[in-house]
Chains A and B, each alone.
Chain A
Amino acid sequence: MNDQVTISPTTLSVHLTINGRDHALEIEPRVTLLDALRDRLALTGTKKGCDQGQCGACTVHVDGQRVLACLTLAAQVEGREITTIEGLADEDGTLNAVQAAFLEQDAFQCGYCTPGQIMSAVACIREGHAGSDEEIREYMAGNLCRCGAYPNIVAAVRQAAQELRS
């Protein structure tokens, strides 16, 4: 690319790689990754809670790192690997260890925050920040649960972390 700066017209052509699949979109520059996922790509597993970076419901992975889709512009993550809750289970439907642990520990009530909790927990364990209940609480603090399922969420993360270690 010779141009040092790419100037956008009113809409942008953006190519996103989500759960291993390529998607081409025509979007306004202001469209967030969250809105692109939900409204344009029908990937509604990623939830819109506060839409202001405060609740964690929209947590997805970009290049393996957990981030908030509501504060990420879709245009910004072109060329990055995006993983959403839809991309977590195996092709044959076998659940990720964290998904299975959430079911087993009943780590939800209404379930709205759950996709964000699970995406956050997968990364939390991978980062090595699930060594104790205290550490799990600290490093899961960015995911709020208004039903207050926190004790069960901590139990699920603890269980999945143990399973993945062994």
Chain B
Amino acid sequence: MRDFSYLRAGNIEAARNAAALPGAMLLAGGTTLIDLAKCGVAEPSTVIDISHIEGLNAIDVTADRAVIGALARMSHVADNPQVKNLFPAVSEALWQAASAQLRNMATIGGNLMQRTRCPYFRDPQNFPACNKRAPGSGCSAIGGVTRGHAVLGTSEACIATYPGDLAIALVAFDAEVDLGERKLKVEDFFLAPGATAEQEHDIRPGEVITAIEIPGSAAARRSTYVKVRDRQSYEFAAASAAVGLELEGDGRTVRDIRVAFGGVATKPWRARAVEEALKGQMLDEETVRKASELAMEGAVDHGANHYKIALAPRVVVRAILKLGETA
């Protein structure tokens, strides 16, 4: 790990000023930054420790909305009774992510800044070509071992999968990220690689995430996060789905439904085609299966990740039917 200078920000203004310095990177939980610094991927000249800033870790939940401070720890949000009650998919996405130790360290703001787990991205010594690290250098994953790589939102520059869980639930329920001067839909905060794979987030120098806001809804109250992976625990998703459901008074017709995917796309992936196909429909297995297939339109595989195209719709089916049964 290259050495760096260390600055401790006492408040959010100081953090913003320091974040605008060239070569500066923010340190909150450290679970991404210190890891990537050890891999030789992150080489900050200055590390700005924002973890001592007070008042940024509040969790404020009402039926209308949840406002979660950027420095709230993943474990605290996952265990928050109101989050569990009003936004179950958010709690489930959090407790199924990483390990208990990592969830005690990692913050909600930092979670949104988590980088891909693409093994080529994480290994600059052996794989110098990576458009995410070095724009224009090429992509070592294309033509390489691609079992974990994305099938949606890829480009010729990059096929790295977005690895997180929380953001999948946030995208499903139209959450926003608060950057101080501006607020963005979480869905727009994440950028697909296109020709600029190095640009993963719509965040500018000097901007600091202060909070996320999730609007309350009937679909958010009746929601779940289903995560399928190679190991039962402590593993990234092979495919995952955040789903929320609101039924009409008859208890069978879909009034509102939210569907978002993880583990299969280059960014948190909202599946609006699936949602539109199911609104107004009766909730039966055949209809749900057909609609879920629509999510994979335009999917492109690279051989070893072909299974994700079959797996992801089945994960959504499981999630929707699970919600339907809990009427």
Contacts and interface: CB of A to CB of B under 8 A. Distances in A.
Contacts of B51: 76
A72 B30 contact: yes
Interface string B57-69: 0000000000000
Interface residues on B, range: 35 or more
A141 B101 contact: no
A71 B105 contact: yes
B239 interface: no
B38 interface: yes
A60 to B, nearest CB: 9
B94 to A, nearest CB: 13
A154 to B, nearest CB: 13
Interface in A34-73: 51-53, 56, 59, 65-68, 70-73
Interface stretch (B10-18, B206-214, B240-248): B10-18
A29 B27 contact: no
Looking at chain B's contact residues, is the secondary structure mostly helix, strand, loop, or mixed?
A: mixed
A52 B38 contact: yes
A78 to B, nearest CB: 8
A123 B13 CA distance: 35
A6 B11 CA distance: 11
Contacts of A29: 3-6, 47
Contact of A4 (B1, B14, B102, B105): B14
Contact of A53 (B2, B3, B35): B35
B142 interface: no
B49 interface: yes
A73 B233 contact: no
B18 A52 contact: no
A120 B6 contact: no
B228 to A, nearest CB: 16
Given A4-B13, A32-B34, A53-B35, A75 B101 contact: no
A126 B102 CA distance: 17
Contact of B105 (A9, A68, A138): A68
A12 interface: yes
A16 to B, nearest CB: 15
A28 B233 CA distance: 36
B100 A129 contact: yes
A164 interface: no
A150 B39 CA distance: 29
Interface of A: 1, 3-10, 12, 28-30, 32, 51-53, 56, 59, 65-68, 70-73, 75-76, 79, 120, 123-124, 127, 129, 137-143
Instruction: Please name the 4 residue pairs, one residue from A and one from B, whose CB atoms are nearest each other, closest first.
Output: A142-B99, A29-B6, A4-B14, A141-B233
19 contacts: A4-B9, A4-B11, A4-B17, A9-B5, A29-B3, A29-B4, A30-B3, A65-B73, A67-B105, A68-B105, A70-B34, A73-B6, A73-B49, A75-B8, A124-B100, A138-B233, A140-B100, A142-B100, A142-B102
